[in-house]
Structure formats: C-alpha cells, structure tokens
Amino acid sequence: MALSLFIGAGLSHAEILPGPLVDADWLEKNANKITLLDVRADVNSFSKRSKGGSPVNPCGAGVKGKDAEPVAGHIPDAILVRWSLLTTQQAVAGQKTDGWLPVLEDFERLMQKSGVNDGQPIVIAYKGEKAIETAMAARLYYTLKYYGHDQVAILDGGTAAWIQSGRKVKFGRSRGGRGNFTAKPGRTDMVAAMDDVKTLSESGKGQLLDIREPAGYLGVARKIADVESKWHGHIPGARNVPMTLLSNDVGPAAFLFDNDTLQQSLTLMGASTDTPTTVYCNSGLMASVGWFVLSELLGNTSVRLYDGSMQEWALSKMPLAAMNHD
C-alpha cells in the first residue's frame, strides 16, 4: 500500500514522517529530510556486491532470471548499524544470555556514531529477505522509542523493496558524520520484567502473547544452544501469534500493513488488539514485531515487551505449559 504525504515548507520534524511505515516512493522524495539507518546482521552485504545472492521475489532462493535480484548494497546515504551492537548480555542463573536492551550509554554512543541527531526524523531500512530482518528493524525502532526518540519509521520491505521498485543501490562503507543524539531515561512502561509476567500469568488480568512459531510454543522445538537443553513450551496463559502472521517471510520481507488483515489474523488466533498486552519470544527479537504491530500499527497504547523472554523464564525454572507427552 503506497503512502503519501504533502510536505509543506513550514512543517516540523514531527509532521515529516507519515506514520510508522514508509515506502520507497516516500523515502526517495524525502531522503534529504531524514537520517536513514540500515540495520543488518550480515554486514558484508551492505558494502559488497553479491555473488549470486538471494532473490528478491516470492518464489524462493532457487529462482534465477530477470526477477532474481540479489539483496546486496545499500540505499544511497544509508548508515550501517550492526545488529550485534544493538543488544547486550546478562547473566541468568549463572549463564550468559543475549538479546537484552543495550544500556543507555552504549546505545547513545552507537547512535551518535551512526550520525543520529536529536529531533531528526529517522527511517530504518533492513536487508528485507526474511521476516527475522523485519524484527531487527522493529527492535531498533523499539529501542529508539524506549530511549526517547519518537520521530522514527521503518521502510516497509527494506532494501529488498527498494531494489524491487527499480531503484539503484550503492556499495562500500557508509559515510555518516557524528551526531549529537542524547538518550533519555528508558520508558519503563514499554518493558515487562519477569515478576510482571509472573503476575500476569497467574492472574490472567491482561494478555500475554508468544510471538514464536508454533513448534516452540507447543514445546516440540529442537533445543537451542546455550540456553537450555530443551524448550518445554510457553508461559502459562500465553496465546500464540507467530511472527510470520505479522510479517512476510519471503522477499521483500514486509509487514502485513493492511490493518484489517492484522485485526482478523489476531482475532482468529484468539488475541485482542486493544487489551493491555505483554509480548515475548526466545530473547526479545521476534517479540519486537508483535510490539510494533500492536502498538504502532494498531494503536494499542498499553503494550510491553518482556525483555528477558523465554531464555530468562526457562533458565529461572519458572512454570511452563506445553503439549502432554506420554
């Protein structure tokens, strides 16, 4: 769905961004008014040409021909943000766990290094081949909002959508100057701690959503290294709304932007779109998509992300629900 906005000469930064999602047309017209960040785990693809690469089309990685455009390079003026720098570690039950929100000073330093200035609108791009990359964008969006920067949007479909629209990319390193971004104290109402989730699970007062795929939710997933020998299911009382119901898992990997479709999908999964909600996954990454859809697209003003998610819950030997095994 195309987004459009008339930009008048006297509009403030707050009025530049049309909403939480923008498309390639809007970005091209407004590139000089925003800071463009590109968050990736595969950092080499940002600067180097692909040797065959993955196609940007819904037919899958084996397709070749004129429609098979590899996702390599970056949108002009994009600044690379390494995914590995966006989270931190914490010890849980004597084990190191990844995926936690970065501490204020580290995030402030990262955003300054990425050329982000206070009050400057930000658009977040991502590689756009898989749904997990939409989660990286949603997590950066969430972290910016958590630390007080509200003028932020995501390029729906990421760099893959930019390429598919026929626009050119660049190669080489990003060339951004240093910004003056100042992180504000974290918004605690955006985060749920384990005690909050325990209370919610026991009382049933509120909604708890598990954003993992059904195999993890049901407790039939394979083990995940460095967390526990086996996942046993989900937090009691949680309903399952898999991330892939909220964002596409084929290129361009985009959010299901039609709000009516999102409403119907959540309703069919037994979830409410306006109830106070806490979302979680394995380590908080996929849950960022659930938070983004409910809070930013559907307008639920009371959505929290359980930062510790299943890794903290399971390692802390908290109760779990799963399929019965004889």
Task: Identify residue 96 by its one-letter amino acid code.
Answer: K
Hey, what domains does the chain have and what are their CATH numbers?
A: 16-164 (3.40.250.10), 188-315 (3.40.250.10)
Question: pTM of this prediction?
Answer: 0.88
Task: Identify residue 275 by its one-letter amino acid code.
Answer: T
Q: Report the C-alpha gap between 156 and 174 in whole angstroms.
A: 21
110: number of CA atoms within 13 Å, CB side? 21
The structure tokens listed for 97 are: 């766990």
233: number of CA atoms within 13 Å, CB side? 15
Residues 6+ apart with CB under 8 A from 86: 39, 102, 107, 110, 136, 139, 140, 143
Q: What are phi and psi of 313, to 5 degrees?
A: -60, -45
Q: What is the DSSP string of 312-326?
A: HHHHTT---B-----
Q: What is the DSSP string of 156-184?
A: TTHHHHHHHTT---B-S----------PP
Alpha helices in the chain (DSSP H): 13-16, 24-30, 44-47, 104-113, 131-146, 158-164, 194-203, 214-218, 259-268, 286-291, 309-315
C-beta of residue 255 within 8 angstroms of C-beta of residue 3: no
* 207-210 sheet: strands from edge to edge: 191-192, 303-306, 277-280, 207-210, 239-240
Which residue has 């819950």 as its token pair? 313
Find, among 244, 249, 228, 205, the residue nearest to 309 by Cα.
Answer: 228
Find, among 191, 74, 211, 197, the residue nearest to 142 by Cα.
Answer: 191
For the chain, the distance separating the N- and C-terminal CA atoms, rounded to the nearest angstrom, is: 48
From first to last of the 326 residues of the chain, give the pLDDT tens digit: 333 333 333 344 457 899 999 999 999 999 999 999 999 999 999 988 766 444 444 333 333 334 445 688 999 999 999 999 999 999 999 999 999 999 999 999 999 999 999 999 999 999 999 999 999 999 999 999 999 999 999 999 999 999 999 999 999 987 778 999 999 999 999 999 999 999 999 999 999 999 999 988 998 866 655 445 456 799 999 999 999 999 988 779 999 768 888 989 999 999 999 999 999 999 999 999 999 999 999 999 999 999 999 999 999 999 999 875 43
* DSSP one-letter code for 246: T
